[in-house]
Amino acid sequence: MKKGLHPGNYRFVVFKDMSNGTTWLSKSSAQSRETVKFDDGNEYPLIKLEISNTSHPFFTGKNMLVDTAGRIDKFKKRYAKKGE
């Protein structure tokens, strides 16, 4: 394995899924300016995530309803005048 390829500053950080509030502790080298007190009483850097395996439809089995028909109608109305 090549030397110097992986960062050497791994430490414990708390990841938080902002869509459902789930938090977990893991090691990472990601930088953060925010800290949070975790369940064990210690304070760790906080990394906020928009989506994770706890909220992604693929992992949860819940599909999100996407209004594709409405989007297509809006697109056609918006650009109908330009095509004429």
- 3-class DSSP state for residue 78? helix
pTM over 0.75: no
Is residue 34 within 8 A of residue 21, CB to CB? The reply is: no
| Whole-number Cα distances in Å, 2 to 11, 30, 59 | 22, 21, 34
Does position 83 have pLDDT exceeding 70, yes or no?
A: no
| Average pLDDT, integer, range 47-53 | 86
Where are the domains positioned within the chain? 11-83
State the Cα–Cα distance between residues 25 and 44, nearest whole angstrom: 9
Task: Give the pLDDT band of residue 25 (cuts 50, 70, 90).
Answer: very high
